[in-house]
Amino acid sequence: MFSSFCIYKLDPDCDGKLLEEAFWDGVATKHTIVPFSDLPESVAKGVDRVHGFCTATPQLGDKSINFHSSDFTILNYCIETKKVKPAILKRTIAKLEKKALAESGQPFVSKEQKKEIKALARIMELKRAVEDRSETLIVLNRSENWLVVGAGSDKKCDEIMSTIRTLIDSFPVTLAKSSAASTIFTDWVKSGVTPDDSRLNDSCTLMSNTLGSSATYKHQSVATDEEILKNIEKNKEVVSLSLSVGDESNEFGVVSFNIADTLKVSGFKFKALKKDKDSKDESDNADANIFLFLQHLSTVYHFIEDNIINYTVDADEFS
């Protein structure tokens, strides 16, 4: 459903309505997106961006805008934009300026005219601009006060959060952080020991605090690679690391991911149920995969919270 996400913590003293299914259904219904294809032509031709909520889990075949389980709510925030290619816009502006000069008989176009021409050119080209649609899933754990935003960049995640704040007046969330993340990652790689039910995968990124340079290693035995360990001895730190968490005896019980020292997760993967050719109800399969998705998302969150966010130094290490 997504491969990258940022984690946010919802203030435990927040307004209780933020944890209610009905509240989020009301927000999503009120602010449902009206796509370009449904706008009157007279309106659509002058608009370059529309946004709002859309169906979170269309694969289930129901018409509910959001998905709810006993603990989770899934929302889907959609943005449609029209993109005018710069070269096309520039050519149209040149044509309009040439026409304006011919009609006015003036030797040049004034600054005010240029602004008007640029705006007119943009409106003209929006009629045949390329449309782009992006959907971002937001998964809220209502019982534990945390959520994830499934966008590819930190900036986009923050933009989505800011937008939601404007829709509901108050949304007290903070991005999950840990100042000790790179130290923890480095210790895991150096020792080869990770928390229970977790394993190092085959990639990591090292960074020099003094030089600011970085090196990424892929398809390596991270805990035994001589070059990686030598660089760690030279005071380079692990700033991102790939891991697997879960019970290996269960083929559906393991989730793999890459985590950066910002706590941004990418490469979030798990084994999903394949479509049964003989199944008459595809929604049953989709429902099972959504269950797996939420289960593994929760596993990753608790792994990060328990072993990184809430990390404490054992006093016995210094005794």
Identify whether residues 90 and 152 lie together within a single domain. Answer: no
Reading the block at residue 234, the tokens are 């030279």
For residue 258, give the nearest of 248, 268, 246, 245 by alpha carbon: 268
Residue 1 lies in a domain: no
Identify whether residues 235 and 297 lie together within a single domain. Answer: yes
Identify whether residues 54 and 188 lie together within a single domain. Answer: no
CB 9, CB 176: distance < 8 Å:
yes
| C-alpha span between 301 and 304 (Å, rounded) | 5
| C-alpha span between 40 and 44 (Å, rounded) | 6
| C-alpha span between 6 and 304 (Å, rounded) | 12
Positions in the chain whose pLDDT score sits under 70: 126-128, 130, 276-283, 313-319
User: What is residue 298's three-state secondary structure?
Assistant: helix
| C-alpha span between 145 and 2 (Å, rounded) | 20
CB 54, CB 38: distance < 8 Å:
no
SS (H, E, C) 202-260: EEEEEEECCCCCEEEECCCCCCCCHHHHHHHHCCEEEEEEEEEEECCCCCCCEEEEEEE
Residue 239 lies in a domain: yes
DSSP state, residue 128? T
| C-alpha span between 15 and 207 (Å, rounded) | 41
Rounded CA Rg of the chain:
25
Identify whether residues 306 and 198 lie together within a single domain. Answer: yes
Identify whether residues 306 and 220 lie together within a single domain. Answer: yes
Identify whether residues 15 and 157 lie together within a single domain. Answer: yes
Identify whether residues 191 and 121 lie together within a single domain. Answer: no
Identify whether residues 274 and 153 lie together within a single domain. Answer: no
Identify whether residues 216 and 263 lie together within a single domain. Answer: yes
Residue 58 lies in a domain: yes
The residue type of 227 is E
Residue 249 lies in a domain: yes
Average pLDDT, the chain: 89
- What is the domain extent for residue 227? 181-318
Please report the pLDDT score of residue 28 as a whole number: 97
Taking only the tens place, the pLDDT of each residue in 140-188 is 999 999 999 999 888 999 999 999 999 998 899 999 999 999 999 999 9
Identify whether residues 142 and 37 lie together within a single domain. Answer: yes
Residue 212 lies in a domain: yes
* Residue count (the chain): 319
Identify whether residues 137 and 121 lie together within a single domain. Answer: no
Please report the pLDDT score of residue 282 as a whole number: 64
> Going by C-beta distance under 8 Å and a sequence separation of 6 or more, which residues neighbour residue 135?
54, 76, 77, 78
User: Domain count of the chain?
Assistant: 3
Please report the pLDDT score of residue 62 as a whole number: 75
Please report the pLDDT score of residue 257 as a whole number: 98
Please report the pLDDT score of residue 318 as a whole number: 42
Q: End of a domain among 175, 210, 240?
A: 175
Identify whether residues 206 and 225 lie together within a single domain. Answer: yes
For residue 95, give the nearest of 70, 63, 120 by alpha carbon: 120
